[in-house]
């Protein structure tokens, strides 16, 4: 059990001091310091890359006026903030679970509750990913000339797999919760 405690501590430190700061920094860098990501049209998407759930790969080629540029950047930050917030909240629950593991409370009610919350947040994040793509496609083209606005709905096989895995994770944690409740009732009847 000592090795599991070490692994839990290493994962906790990596999550707190590497993964979360990098995710937050990349989101802020993308919207504040780099070119604004943009989805032009479907053929452009196939020629360049896929716009993933957290990082965009398309960039505006023609200049915007300064006021419109900052409004779009702020709206983009707001949309990305939802995704990053879900990531941070899920990571905080994961860190709490790891701390419980370090104190040998692997099957405690708190551990189960944190697993349930983390699985629900993962499902919300997986469902929000295609919605985020749609919102970002509109935000990045909302100040274009009339007729050039774009609202694109994109769902990739990664999004579908994420939704399925997160859904299975929710079902699994719900089954664990039911098993714990049944065990508790069984302990009271004996």
Domain ranges of the chain: 2-189
Mean pLDDT of 33-44: 54
pLDDT given for residue 69 in this prediction: 73
Q: What is the pLDDT of residue 45?
A: 43
Is the pLDDT at 161 greater than 70, yes or no?
yes
Residue-wise pLDDT tens digits, 44-85:
443 333 443 334 434 444 444 455 577 888 888 899 899 999
Distance from C-alpha of 97 to C-alpha of 118, rounded to nearest angstrom: 10
pLDDT of residue 40: 46
| pLDDT classification of 146: cutoffs 50, 70, 90 | low
Ramachandran class of 156: left when φ > 0, alpha when ψ lies in -120 to 50, beta otherwise: beta
pLDDT reported for residue 36: 60
Instruction: Report, as an integer, the average pLDDT of 154-175.
Output: 91
- Give the model's pLDDT for residue 2: 63
pLDDT at 68: 56
Answer positive or negative: Cα dihedral of 61, 62, 63, 67: negative
Q: Give the torsion through C-alpha atoms of 117, 124, 163, 53, to 10 deg.
A: -120
């Amino acid at each position: 059990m000592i090795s599991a405690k070490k692994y839990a501590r290493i994962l906790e430190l990596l999550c707190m001091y590497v993964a979360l700061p990098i995710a937050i920094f990349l989101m802020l860098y993308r919207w504040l310091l780099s070119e604004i990501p943009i989805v032009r049209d479907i053929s452009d998407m196939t020629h360049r890359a896929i716009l993933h759930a957290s990082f965009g790969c398309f960039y505006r080629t023609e200049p915007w006026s300064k006021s419109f540029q900052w409004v779009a950047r702020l709206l983009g930050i707001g949309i990305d903030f939802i995704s990053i917030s879900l990531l941070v909240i899920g990571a905080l629950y994961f860190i709490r679970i790891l701390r419980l593991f370090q104190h040998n409370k692997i099957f405690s009610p708190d551990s189960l509750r944190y697993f349930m919350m983390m699985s629900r947040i993962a499902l919300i994040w997986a469902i929000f990913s295609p919605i985020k793509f749609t919102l970002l496609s509109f935000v990045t083209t909302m100040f274009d000339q009339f007729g050039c606005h774009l609202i694109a709905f994109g769902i990739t096989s990664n999004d579908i797999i994420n939704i399925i895995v997160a859904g299975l994770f929710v079902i699994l944690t719900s089954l664990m919760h039911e098993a714990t409740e049944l065990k508790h009732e069984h302990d009271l009847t004996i």
